Amino acid sequence: MYRSFGVSVIGMTNIPEAKLAREAEICYGVIALATDYDCWHETHDDVSVDAILAIIRHNVTMAKSIIKHAVRRIGTARNCPCGSALQYAIITDRGAIPEQTKKILIL
């Protein structure tokens, strides 16, 4: 299916984390580091566990370096809409929401 779409990179894990971060009003970014071509790339050898582990070790080192440098540049001010992402998530009149439910939802 992906070949028919003409894609060459498939992200396998970003959407659940992105949705959860949005729900928690947390800023979220991705460091996507590939491990292999899987089985579809005809000009590359088949994937082996040893090859993937070697690439993962390299990726861990690279990710640590990226984070180390990025954290210095991020700063402390939040100039993004993440902190108020759920501002309009509840459209029910607050007066119609029972007090116990408000406590549970921290409204």
23-28: Cβ within 8 A, 24+ apart: 23/85, 23/86, 25/82, 25/83, 25/84, 25/85, 25/86, 26/82, 27/78, 27/80, 27/82, 28/82
Confidence check: pLDDT of 59 > 90? yes
The model carries a pTM of 0.59
Q: Which of 36, 46, 50, 93 is catalytic?
A: 36
Q: Which of 38, 46, 50, 93 is catalytic?
A: 38
CA torsion through residues 63, 65, 71, 73, sign: negative
Report the share of the chain in percent with pLDDT over 70.
Answer: 92
Is 38 noted as a catalytic residue in this protein? Answer: yes
pLDDT digits (tens, 9 = 90+) for 1-46: 777 888 777 767 788 888 999 988 998 888 888 887 666 667 777 7
